[in-house]
Copies of this chain bind each other. A is one copy, B any other.
Amino acid sequence: MASEAEVAASAKIIDGKMVAKEIRDEITTEVSRMKDAIGVVPGEDSAETEVLKFISDFNDDPAVHGILVQLPLPKHMNEQNILNAVSIEKDVDGFHPLNIGRLAMRGREPSFVPCTPKGCIELLHRYGFQIKGKKAVVIGRSNIVGMPAALLLQREDATVTIVHSRTQNPEQIVKEADIVISAVGQPDMVRGTWLKPGAVVIDVGINPVEDATCPRGYRLVGDVCYEEARKVVSAITPVPGGVGPMTIAMLLSNTLSSAKRIHNFQ
């Protein structure tokens, strides 16, 4: 067991599991209030076969408040066609290009913000870390995490750089960041030496690595080398227990927002 002095000298652990529980409790309260007031419970579902038909039916069904297409799709399906079929009003994933466009534009508001990046920003907010005016680096430029996370940080007035596979000297760029969001899927890629002392790190990676001492033969690690990083940064999310639970909480939050909007419930 670590001594108190040792714990005090290392980074604050950003407890996504705990914050996600808080948010889920808040959502439970709102769902109850909504059910009691107007008899509607926000509904969720997912579809995997005859996807377009299901989506069309769900689009038309006022009892469905959110439609989540679980990615990746099987190779014989066209991801673009299927995602585009989801009504913009029920796109709780926030992956519709119209949503992404609104997210990118000043003065526009997306109907929904993609869940994982929203969860990252929510952790920064709930822990009281300032974003405005800070240098932020997003590692990875995927449509589902990196790119929308960068757009969200930009909306919050951070100065944002996206680092990706073609970036030269990524460690130098990351080293200047006050806020780092990593979403690349490379175990322990970001070393302690890459990080600015006092930075805040949100680690989206969930990577299995072989470990014979674990019951399943593997353990999960993030993109950031946790043991090195925690000695350098001021705060970091653990993997697991950081961003993961937040994604689910944000999906519930988006579905609740959708249900409120559909039923004009404030």
User: How many chain A residues touch B (Cβ–Cβ < 8 Å)?
Assistant: 34
A98 to B168, CA, bound (A): 31
Query: What residues of B have a CB within 8 angstroms of the CB of A157 in the complex?
Result: 164, 166
CB <8 Å contact, B100 and A80: no
A87 adjacent to chain B (CB < 8 Å):
no
A window 197-235: CB within 8 A of B: none
Task: Confirm or deny: A163 has a beta carbon within 8 angstroms of a beta carbon on chain B.
Answer: yes
Cβ–Cβ < 8 Å partners of A160 in chain B:
161-162
The A contact surface, by secondary structure, is mixed
Give 13 A-B contacts (CB < 8 Å), ordered by A residue: A80-B107, A100-B100, A100-B101, A105-B143, A105-B147, A106-B142, A106-B143, A106-B147, A133-B166, A133-B167, A135-B168, A157-B166, A161-B161
Q: What would 16 more interface pairs be, CB under 8 Å, given A104-B104, A106-B143, A161-B161?
A: A80-B108, A97-B102, A97-B104, A98-B98, A98-B101, A100-B100, A101-B102, A104-B151, A105-B143, A133-B167, A135-B168, A159-B167, A159-B168, A159-B173, A160-B161, A160-B162
- A: which residues have CB within 8 A of B? 80, 96-108, 132-133, 135, 141-143, 147, 151, 154, 157, 159-164, 166-168, 173
